[in-house]
């Protein structure tokens, strides 16, 4: 397990994971805070919304209004009563999410419409949230438990990152959440695996999270959410 800067890395745990594009639940380490107050940065950035093109039926019925979709938004925050982090990104109504704490991690995917978000993960894992006012407010259900969260909008380098590679016939994959602290520094948490074996996760450069890192003696190239969200749909 690696340890860089002020951020702790992952502890080994039980693994239940699937590959890129499929939600997973696996053991993972807790986030480390580099400042006394670890709320996401302020001020929040407003979500950008757009309405999809109306169908002929909608055009013929002026009383019907197509629900708006968020064009682009990124959220990140702490999960109450859990100590983990959650990050959610939306692009043209399609959304992905990632949750990670000291005991589990999970990927989610789904859709946003009219300010409501529903993301599903492995098994019964689920994220629901109401969007607006520069934040996502909702809950994450995982492993028979449920926690609430309020995740403000964030801007890079805060957000969600992922990397994959094939090495000796095994698929390497890693996910990270990076959150900037209002008093300086960053909180970072994530998980890494080779197949189903959990690995010590490398620390991202918080200022340049897409810089290459070494995982299992292999150089990998983290992508921000714009680089992988379509692959996960």
Contact predicate 78/140, CB 8 Å? no
| Residue-level pLDDT at 52 | 56
pLDDT in tens, the chain (233 residues): 333 333 333 333 333 333 333 445 555 555 554 433 444 444 444 466 555 555 544 444 445 566 678 999 999 999 998 989 999 999 999 999 999 986 789 999 999 999 999 999 998 999 999 999 999 999 999 989 999 999 999 999 999 999 999 988 889 999 999 999 988 999 999 999 998 888 999 999 999 999 999 998 999 999 999 999 988 87
Contact predicate 143/126, CB 8 Å? no
| Residue-level pLDDT at 29 | 57
DSSP 32: B
pLDDT digits (tens, 9 = 90+) for 88-133: 999 999 999 999 986 789 999 999 999 999 999 998 999 999 999 9
Task: Pull the structure tokens for residue 123.
Answer: 């098994």
Q: Which H helix or E strand runs over 58?
A: helix 56-60
Is cis: bond before 43, omega within 30 of 0? yes
Specify burial of residue 119 (Cβ count, 10 A radius: 0-12, 13-18, 19+). buried
| Residue-level pLDDT at 39 | 40
pTM, rounded to two decimals? 0.75
What sign does the CA torsion over 211, 213, 219, 221 have? negative
Alpha helices for 86-136 (secondary structure H): none
């Amino acid at each position: 397990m690696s340890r860089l800067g002020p951020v702790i890395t992952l502890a080994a745990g039980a693994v239940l994971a699937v590959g890129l594009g499929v939600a997973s639940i696996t053991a993972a380490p807790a986030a480390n805070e580099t400042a006394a107050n670890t709320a996401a940065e302020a001020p929040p950035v407003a979500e950008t919304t757009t309405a999809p093109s109306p169908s002929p039926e909608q055009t013929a019925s002026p009383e019907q209004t197509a629900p708006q979709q968020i064009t682009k938004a990124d959220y990140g925050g702490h999960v109450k009563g859990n100590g983990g982090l959650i990050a959610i990104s939306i692009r043209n109504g399609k959304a992905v999410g990632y949750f990670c704490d000291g005991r589990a991690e999970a990927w989610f995917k789904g859709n946003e419409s009219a300010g409501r978000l529903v993301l599903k993960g492995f098994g019964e894992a689920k994220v629901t949230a109401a969007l607006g006012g520069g934040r996502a407010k909702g809950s994450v259900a995982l492993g028979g438990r449920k926690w609430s969260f309020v995740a403000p909008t964030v801007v890079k380098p805060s957000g969600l990152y992922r990397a994959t590679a094939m090495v000796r016939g095994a698929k390497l994959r890693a996910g990270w959440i990076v959150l900037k602290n209002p008093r300086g520094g960053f909180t970072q948490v994530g998980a890494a695996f080779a197949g189903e074996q959990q690995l010590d996760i490398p620390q991202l450069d918080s200022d340049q999270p897409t810089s290459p890192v070494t995982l299992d003696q292999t150089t990998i190239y983290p992508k921000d959410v714009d680089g992988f969200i379509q692959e996960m749909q």
